[in-house]
Amino acid sequence: MPGQIPVVDYLVLGDPPHLQARMCAQCDALYFDRRNACAHCGRRDFTWKALASTGQLRGYTQVHRAAPSVPVPYISAIVELDGGGVVKANLIDAQLDDITPGLTVTMTTFVAGVDDDGTEAIAFGYKPVKEQG
Amino acid sequence: MSSGDIWIIGASMTPFGRHDDKDLIDIAAESALDALGDADVTIEDIDILTMGNVYEANSHNGQRLQKQIGQTGIPVYNVVNACATGATALRVALLSIKAGESDIGLAVGVEKMGKGGLIGGAAKKRDARKVYSPNGRYGSVLKTEGILGTGIMPGVFAQAGTEYALAHGVTATHFAKVAQKNHAHSVLNPLAHYRKEFSLDDILNADVIAFPNTLPMCCPNTDGAASVVVVSDAKLKTMDPDVRRRAVKISASVLTSDPWVEGGQVQPDVSTLTRNAATAAYEQAGVGPEDLDLVELHDCFATAELIHYDNLGLCEPGGAGDFLDSGAPWRDGKTPVNVSGGLLSKGHPLGATGIANIYEVATHLRGEAGDRQITGAKVGLTHVIGLASACAVHILEAGVR
Ligand SMILES: [Zn+2]
């Protein structure tokens, strides 16, 4: 059983996997990296917030031309998470034609690479939530 | 007018394109000397030199330029501010004049873009052994570009465009129309990198870079320089009548950076700082979008131009698609936009772009734009945006002397 590590430390590999952000104690602004102070209000106290796994797609592109190490094409999406937070990740299991205004998406994880010790890097992406028939 | 006004008395732009036979300073010197000549002054007359350049910014290019065109001991400021570098260099000269330290300034912007472009180069060579360990501010264990979406320029501006499209119903065809217009405009500009028309089908069917932007919807790699000579009101009054007649007033000069917005850390917000800059500039100049005879705005990608119609108040909120469909931003429309060909066709040498936009508008206001002249142009606006993050808006007015 190989080990797993998240590709970024704001992805928490739990059950279920989810994103977490630093939240400004004063104004609730959310950040994925450590902050010297809040970029919104300047305060220096932060707490942690677990983010929702569902949200709405706000913007996207399908990338066809990239640096040689990046496989193309892929769809990049900006997702507004339910309950707060905006995240950028790949839209997976979807085509451009599936994208509609306000498309609801849900987070999923996948193996983005394996290192020489067999450790898997786990990344996250979003897939459309199919309408209930 | 008030004694606080600043005037452009000389402006120049080199041909934009590939200049493989010239180095950065050759191109800068050509443009600087042309601007001095256009202003009917010499380097001996200049009180302050500002130099905008991005990729070679640690080379003291202002001083290197002086060694080629005149070392007169004046203060030199080397300026870098992403794609707003040239416009920022102009502002440094302008602020010095406003502060009363200088009467006359020369602002130069120059760039040699090389072949790398805005997509990014090859990955660095890997270590022999790959072991994941968290690194940097986000604790990443590998390069996340392409895994957690895209953060490079074509993708960022594509996502800004589709965000507008999802909210306001514009289509991929709308974005292609922007490129069709700017390429058509460039045919009239002898200084443009490309001077070739494309049909809408050509543009929509070209190689996709980052949907919806195809190749003709992305700015090319371009070398070039642009320069302006600016003077105080008092200084202008002492100058030759012919210089005064051709002088162009800088009615507003504004620079902004990104204010905090939710999500700004994952997707640069190219709109709020533009809206803020435009609002301040209209206020400063006492003119509105309806008064503009032409606009040179930052169309690094076709998607960017469309959303800036809205950000600059050229259309009703949400109405950029209708504005474009009406023909308004074409050179014979209500508010001609990027009659130079824009960055898409004229080219985008980062450090030069902000001053090149000023050159274009000033040339029309002087009635000297030749085949591409917007007849009777009196007021124009220039806009550049750089990530991350700076936005400069200038409003220029024809002199009334
Ligand atoms: Zn805060």
Kindly write down the DSSP assignment for every residue of B327-389, as one continuous string: TTTSTTSSS-B-TT-HHHHT---HHHHHHHHHHHHHHHHTT--GGG--TT--EEEEEEEETTT
Round to whole Å and give the CA distance between B173 and B196.
Answer: 19
Say yes or no to pLDDT of B357 above 70: yes
Residue (of B76, B96, B134) closest to B6 by Cα position: B96
Of A87-91, B126-130, B243-247, B281-285, minimum mean pLDDT range: B126-130
Q: What is the mean pLDDT of residues B114-121?
A: 58
> Could you give the ipTM of this predicted complex?
0.95
In 10 A of CB B271, how many CB atoms?
A: 20
Say yes or no to pLDDT of B202 above 70: yes
Please give the pLDDT value at position B399. 86
In 10 A of CB A98, how many CB atoms?
A: 14
* Chain B: residue whose CA lies nearest to A22: B138
Quickly state the pLDDT bin for B128 (edges 50, 70, 90). confident
The percent of chain A in helix, strand and coil, each rounded to the nearest 5, is 0, 45, 50
Rounded to a whole number of angstroms, the distance from the CA of B156 to the nearest CA of chain A is 8
Say yes or no to pLDDT of A11 above 80: yes
Q: Which of B144, B157, B265 should be substituted to probe chain A, the one whose Cβ sees the most A Cβ atoms within 10 Å? A: B265
* Chain B: residue whose CA lies nearest to A4: B132
Among partner residues B132, B149, B211, which is closest to A96 by beta-carbon distance?
B211
Contacts of A97 in chain B (CB under 8 A): none
Round to whole Å and give the CA distance between B16 and B345.
Answer: 10
Quickly state the pLDDT bin for B210 (edges 50, 70, 90). very high
Round to whole Å and give the CA distance between B227 and B261.
Answer: 35
Q: What is the pLDDT of residues A66-80, one digit of tens each?
A: 999 899 999 999 999
In 10 A of CB A53, how many CB atoms?
A: 17
- Backbone phi and psi for residue B350, each to the nearest 5 degrees, phi listed first: -45, -55
Against a cut of 0.90, is the pTM above it? yes
By percentage, how much of chain B surpasses pLDDT 90? 94
CATH fold label, B6-115+221-398: Peroxisomal Thiolase; Chain A, domain 1 (3.40.47)
Among partner residues B146, B209, B267, which is closest to A74 by beta-carbon distance?
B146
Largest CA distance in chain A: 48
**Residue A132 carries which side chain, given as an amino acid letter?**
Q
Round to whole Å and give the CA distance between B159 and A128.
Answer: 18
Round to whole Å and give the CA distance between B46 and B69.
Answer: 12
**Residue B261 carries which side chain, given as an amino acid letter?**
V
Please give the pLDDT value at position B117. 52
Contacts of A60 in chain B (CB under 8 A): 159, 162
Residue (of B225, B227, B301) closest to B16 by Cα position: B225
Round to whole Å and give the CA distance between B152 and A66.
Answer: 9
Cβ separation of B163 and A67 shorter than 8 Å?
no
Residue pair B9/B231 in contact (Cβ under 8 Å)? The answer is: yes
Phi-psi sector, B204: left (phi>0), alpha (psi -120 to 50), beta: alpha
Q: What is the mean pLDDT of residues B56-72?
A: 97
Say yes or no to pLDDT of B121 above 60: no
A1 vs B: CB within 8 A: no
Please give the pLDDT value at position B2. 45
Cβ separation of B131 and A65 shorter than 8 Å?
no
DSSP 8-state symbol, B96:
H
* 3-state DSSP assignment of residue B38: helix
**pLDDT higher at B19 or B125:** B19
Say yes or no to pLDDT of B198 above 90: yes
Please give the pLDDT value at position B388. 72
Please give the pLDDT value at position B119. 53
Residue pair B249/B3 in contact (Cβ under 8 Å)? The answer is: no
Please give the pLDDT value at position B111. 98
Kindly write down the DSSP assignment for every residue of A54-78, as one continuous string: EEEEEEEEEE----TTS-S-EEEEE
Instruction: State the Rg of chain A over Cα.
Output: 16
Please give the pLDDT value at position B277. 98
Residue (of B340, B363, B57, B354) closest to B181 by Cα position: B340
Rounded to 5 degrees, what angle do the CA atoms B398, B399, B401 make?
155
Contacts of A56 in chain B (CB under 8 A): none
Cβ separation of B265 and A115 shorter than 8 Å?
no
Round to whole Å and give the CA distance between A69 and A112.
Answer: 13
Q: What is the pLDDT of residues A38-48, one digit of tens each?
A: 999 999 999 99
Quickly state the pLDDT bin for B355 (edges 50, 70, 90). very high
Cβ separation of A76 and B144 shorter than 8 Å?
no
Round to whole Å and give the CA distance between B192 and B84.
Answer: 19
Please give the pLDDT value at position A1. 56
Which two tokens mark B239?
A: 């100058």
Quickly state the pLDDT bin for B124 (edges 50, 70, 90). low
DSSP 8-state symbol, A42:
-
Helix or strand run (H / E) with residue B76: strand B76-79
A70 vs B: CB within 8 A: yes
Among partner residues B143, B155, B263, which is closest to A76 by beta-carbon distance?
B155
Say yes or no to pLDDT of A118 above 50: yes
